[in-house]
Amino acid sequence: MAARLNPADHDWLTAPATVRVMAALEKAAPGGARFVGGCVRNALLGEPVADIDIATVLEPDAARAALDAAGIAVHPTGIEHGTLTAVADHRPFEVTTLRRDVSTDGRRATVAFTTDWAEDAARRDFRLNALYADMTGEIFDYVGGIADIPDRRIVFIGKAEDRIAEDYLRILRFFRFYASYGKGEPDAEALRACAAMTGGLAQLSAERVWMETKKLLAAPDPGPALRLMAETGVSDALFGTAGDAGRVSRLAGLGGDDPLVRFSAWLGEAAAVCARALRLSNAEARRINAMADPDLAREIAQDWPVRGALEKRVYRHGNVAVADQLFLLFSREETPPEGWGGAIAHALSFAAPVFPVTGTDLKQAGIPASREMGGILRRLEDAWVDSRFRLSKAELLAQV
């Protein structure tokens, strides 16, 4: 495979912001700044390039001075590991000094700065993540990553066991990269190492596990990777269950791409428990708990073919909660029932109206303020919902 990117085919290489940042670093250290990691990998794979990471021989203070001199904003986002974030034309660039590992403990590494590109490449995880490119598009490959690009192979650098022992999160990252970029049979050595070293996963923080899991579940179809996680014991080690990868693949076929819905479909009853252990955000936890509500699930399963009944559920529980339940319901079936797509679309698009009667309306109708007022409002609201929101305020107040 040709070891060069054509700048004319890659706007991110020639964007004014990119040129400004690279020019500033190159002025201070000619030939000492290269693109690295995901942007190079994705460009070679024909995938979209989102984040742009830059590796440099400049140590953090020198890199910061070079960027400051060019009028580029700099934020010390990971200064202890040699990482700065440069912001040019409102676009962030992660700039990291070349590093080598001094020591690792399975969770974090102590690093030292280096000017050796091969040392920097050797400490990375997968061969196709350790490719560098300069402004002309020339590729620099120190670990054999170019050979993995055509067949989309996800292969650890050196011995898989060594890379995993440095950071056990790399087990989960292997399956995430296989789900997002891999093709064909997974690397056998990598699978053996992941299966043999699941005990180290207990060292990982909940936040790191969730971050990586959510990215994995955002892949186009994570199902094949999740099946491999079950076969190697990784799912059990992390979540206490093998999960149901088939449901996640069926969700992908239904257009269900939300990682939270996929998480619930995959882990089933264990999802809510795992969500608490993984310290999801309050908003994420609320969605997971709503998906685990057996009463709502039963109501949706009974009512979904009837538009009016579905609208009532949206009014009571919200568009997202109802759509989530529908996705979960249909993912249980090898062949979803007729009308499934219209039901989900309606659940997401239906704009629930506002109940037209208030306590003030009841007072004006001669109802004295009391504990009974709440009951009256609930009774009128139930009648209004049962009418499919058609009863007017006057018609409702006539029932008081």
Span 327-352, pLDDT tens digits: 999 999 999 999 999 999 999 999 99
Q: Does 242 lie in the same domain as 297?
A: no
Structural domain includes residue 354: no
Residue 22 has a pLDDT of 98
Residue 372 has a pLDDT of 86
Q: Does 315 lie in the same domain as 214?
A: no
- Where do the DSSP E strands lie in the chain? 33-36, 53-56, 73-78, 83-88, 91-97, 99-104, 109-113, 131-133, 139-141
Structural domain includes residue 131: yes
Q: Does 194 lie in the same domain as 62?
A: no
CA angle 97, 201, 198 (to 5 degrees): 120
What tokens does 103 get?
Answer: 């020591």
Q: Does 191 lie in the same domain as 47?
A: no
Q: Does 12 lie in the same domain as 145?
A: yes
Residue 191 has a pLDDT of 98
Q: Around 395, how many Cα atoms within 13 Å sit in the side-chain half-sphere? A: 9
Q: Does 185 lie in the same domain as 72?
A: no
Which of 237, 261, 287 is the last residue before a domain boundary? Answer: 287
Q: Answer whether residue 53 shows pLDDT above 70.
A: yes
Average pLDDT, the chain: 95
Q: Around 77, how many Cα atoms within 13 Å sit in the side-chain half-sphere? A: 14
Identify the weakest region by mean pLDDT among 36-40, 98-102, 166-170, 190-194. 98-102
Say whether pTM exceeds 0.75: yes
Mean pLDDT of the 308-314 span: 95
Structural domain includes residue 388: yes
Mean pLDDT of the 58-74 span: 97
The SS3 call for residue 361 is helix
Type of residue found at 124: R
Burial class (CB in 10 A: 0-12, 13-18, 19+), 70: middle
Query: What is the domain extent for residue 378?
Result: 359-397
Which of 253, 287, 321 is the last residue before a domain boundary? Answer: 287
Q: Does 130 lie in the same domain as 2?
A: yes
Nearest to 78 by CA among 104, 40, 48, 108: 108
Q: How far apart are CA 392 and CA 125, in angstroms?
A: 64
pLDDT: which is higher, 29 or 105: 29
Q: Does 251 lie in the same domain as 305?
A: no
* 140 backbone dihedrals φ, ψ, rounded to 5°: -120, 120
Q: How many independent structural domains does the chain possess?
A: 4
Cβ-contact 272, 288 below 8 angstroms: yes
Q: Answer whether residue 48 shows pLDDT above 80.
A: yes
Q: How far apart are CA 20 and CA 325, in angstroms?
A: 48
Q: Give the H or E element holding residue 331.
A: helix 319-331
Structural domain includes residue 37: yes
Q: How far apart are CA 190 and CA 178, in angstroms?
A: 11
Cβ-contact 206, 277 below 8 angstroms: yes
Of the pLDDT bands very low, low, confident and very high (cuts 50, 70, 90), residue 322 is very high
Q: How far apart are CA 226 and CA 206, in angstroms?
A: 19
Burial class (CB in 10 A: 0-12, 13-18, 19+), 110: exposed
Residue 3 has a pLDDT of 77
Q: Does 137 lie in the same domain as 83?
A: yes
Q: Does 129 lie in the same domain as 4?
A: yes
Residue 153 has a pLDDT of 98
Cα dihedral 182, 188, 191, 197, rounded to 10, equals -140
Q: Answer whether residue 384 shows pLDDT above 90.
A: yes
Cβ-contact 219, 180 below 8 angstroms: yes
Span 101-123, pLDDT tens digits: 887 776 777 889 999 999 999 99
Which of 150, 181, 213 is the last residue before a domain boundary? Answer: 150
Residues 6 or more apart from 389 whose CB is under 8 A from it? Answer: 311, 315, 352, 353
Of the pLDDT bands very low, low, confident and very high (cuts 50, 70, 90), residue 397 is very high
Q: How far apart are CA 366 and CA 363, in angstroms?
A: 5
Cβ-contact 139, 3 below 8 angstroms: yes
Chain centroid to Cα 12, Å, comes to 23
Chain centroid to Cα 63, Å, comes to 31
**CATH number, domain at 32?**
3.30.460.10
Q: Answer whether residue 249 shows pLDDT above 60.
A: yes
The dihedral of CA 57, 60, 66, 67: what is its sign? positive
Span 278-299, pLDDT tens digits: 989 999 999 999 999 999 999 9
Type of residue found at 22: M
Structural domain includes residue 220: yes
Q: Answer whether residue 2 shows pLDDT above 80.
A: no
Q: Does 141 lie in the same domain as 34?
A: yes
Q: How far apart are CA 106 and CA 94, in angstroms?
A: 24
Q: Does 185 lie in the same domain as 96?
A: no
The residue whose two tokens read 């979904």 is 304
Span 141-167, pLDDT tens digits: 999 999 999 999 999 999 999 999 999
Cβ-contact 350, 311 below 8 angstroms: yes
Residue 350 has a pLDDT of 97
Span 250-279, pLDDT tens digits: 999 999 999 999 999 999 999 999 999 998
Q: How far apart are CA 261 and CA 64, in angstroms?
A: 42
Q: How far apart are CA 320 and CA 318, in angstroms?
A: 6
Of the pLDDT bands very low, low, confident and very high (cuts 50, 70, 90), residue 81 is confident
Span 182-231, pLDDT tens digits: 999 999 999 999 999 999 999 999 999 999 999 999 999 999 999 999 99
Percent above pLDDT 90 for the chain: 92
